[in-house]
Each structure stands twice: as C-alpha cells, then as structure tokens.
Amino acid sequence: MDIGLSTASFYPDYPTEKAIDIIGDMGIDVAELFLGSYSEYNREFCQGLIDTLNRHNMHVHSVHTLSTQFEPQLFASTYRQRKDSLDIWLKVLEGAQAIGAEVYVFHGPPVRLNTQPKLDFKRIGRITDELSNIAADFGIKFSWENVYWCWYSDPQFAVKLLENTKGDNIYFTLDIKQAIKSGYSPEEFLYNMGDRVANVHICDFDKDGNLYLPGMGEYDFKGLYAQLHRQGYCGPIILEVYRTNYNHYLDMLQSIDFLKSIFSCKLYENKQL
C-alpha cells in the first residue's frame, strides 16, 4: 500500500497549489486534494495544477471539497436547490477527472450533534444511486466518508445505505479520527464497509481520544493493516491530520516513514501481523 498525504493537512496555512508543491518536495508521490472553495471547483483550476503534479511525478488518488458549501443540498427537497448544488458538483467532477483522480470523498448532510436523525434510507439510497452513476460517467468512485457531524456517524449507516441502493459505484472512505470522534472504533466502521473501501484517512490517537501524528499515539496500525488486507483493500493510505497535530509540516515525514514500515506487503507476507 502506498502512503499518501492530503493537502487538507496544510489547511489553512497554504493554498492547494502550494501544498502540492510541499508534498512533492517531501518526496511523497500520492496525494489527496482538498479543494477549499468555489473558485477551485472547476476544470480550469485543476488543470492549472497538472504541471506541478507532473514535476513531482505525483498521482492524485482522491479529491474532497468543503462539503458544507453544496453537498447537503444534493438531498434538498426543492428542485432548484438540488440542481444548483449538482451544477457545482459536476464542475468538481470535471476537475477531478482532469487531474486523474480516482475517488471523490463525499461527506453528505450534517446533523445536529448528539441527536439521532430519522433518515429516509429509501430516498437517500435513490439519490445516492443517481450521484454514484454520475461519478461513474467521469470514471470516478463515489466514496461516502464516515464523519462524526454528518449522517454517516454510525457504522450501521453503510449497511442501511447498501440495502437501499443498486449501484456498483458506491464506496466508502474510512477516516480514523472521525470514527473516534463518533465514539466508535475504526474497525467497526471498516467491517461494515466490506469490500467497498476506496480510501483510508490515517491519524493516531490515545485511550482518551486525543489525536496525534501516526506513531505517536496508541493505535494498532498492524491490526488495521491486517483487516484492510482481509477485506481486499490494497489502495493508498492517506495521512490526513489537523494543523494542530504538528509543529512543522516536516514532522509528518517521521509518520510517513512509520506508516511505510507498517503498510508493506513484506510485513504481511512474513506473517508478522
């Protein structure tokens, strides 16, 4: 499994294009792009990143956006709200396609914290099928991420979603920090994702739920690797942390080396897990 780095880890210190350059200078050739506002949601902006990506021989595995700007309205009750938000998302997909991204990381509508929303999974499933089919037209996987402040804050969401969908382009992104903030273990989310895992966001944490760079907390990354392997995932592992989790971005290099020592086929083949 390749180890990549999300440009979101540099937010808000550096804009997207500068974060890509820094990642390349760090010797990392797999990235997830966090497109942060409307001016970045288009083919022209993303095409402007290609020279920098090519200079570093960098592959963009996945793209996500500042989702609250339009994703919740994809499930709105009115036609105009849905159409306007869909127009924005189509521009994002055009940009993601232009840079060769494989995955769109979807957050979905938010919820009021500490509440259990009554979700209409038949309607959610129908709209998700529509969205996943649109993403497929661009050659991009539609990947719903577990997020503690959104609909997908419970591991059972994935099960209920798949029970109410028909499409084969519906995948999931496992986010470790979001699982911890939701009050569940990452393994609970991962198990219910089955063979639909398309992306993994990595960080570390301790028994009190404090977040750290990988290798500085207490999380069992070997156990995670074993479970990912059992569920058939062999894609990139993306380091995505908050700016408050490090002093200088070069601190992340030590965690990248740590993750490389864990997520290697040699480890698995030697049955050290």
Each residue's pLDDT expressed in tens, for the chain with a length of 273 residues: 899 999 999 999 999 999 999 999 999 999 999 999 999 999 999 999 999 999 999 999 999 999 999 999 999 999 999 999 999 999 999 999 999 999 999 999 999 877 777 899 999 999 999 999 999 999 999 999 999 999 999 999 999 999 999 999 999 999 999 999 999 999 999 999 999 999 999 999 999 999 999 999 999 999 999 999 999 999 999 999 999 999 999 999 999 999 999 987 554 444 444
The structure tokens listed for 250 are 């070069």
Predicted local confidence at residue 117, as pLDDT: 77
Buried (b) or exposed (e) across 120-146, using 16+ Cβ within 10 A?
ebeebbeebbebbebbeebebbbbbbb
* CA–CA gap between residue 7 and residue 35 (Å, rounded): 9
* CA–CA gap between residue 140 and residue 62 (Å, rounded): 9
Residues 6 or more apart whose Cβ sits within 8 Å of residue 232: 195, 197
Predicted local confidence at residue 264, as pLDDT: 74
Of 114, 139, 204, 194, which is closest to residue 161 (Cα–Cα)? 194
How many independent structural domains does the chain possess? 1
* CA–CA gap between residue 243 and residue 40 (Å, rounded): 21
* CA–CA gap between residue 250 and residue 26 (Å, rounded): 8
Determine the residue type at 204: D
3-state helix, strand, coil in the chain (%, to 5): 45, 15, 35
The pTM for the full model equals 0.94
CATH of residue 246's domain is 3.20.20.150
Place of tokens 């994002």: 92
* CA–CA gap between residue 261 and residue 272 (Å, rounded): 12
Evaluate the CA torsion angle 179, 70, 12, 198 in order and state its sign. positive
Predicted local confidence at residue 30, as pLDDT: 97
Predicted local confidence at residue 266, as pLDDT: 52
Phi, psi of 65 (to 5 degrees): -120, 180
Up-side HSE of residue 130: CA atoms within 13 Å toward CB?
A: 13
Query: What is the Rg, in whole angstroms, of the alpha carbon atoms belonging to the chain?
Result: 18
The residue range of the domain holding 151 is 3-269
The structure tokens listed for 155 are 């591991």
* CA–CA gap between residue 1 and residue 233 (Å, rounded): 9
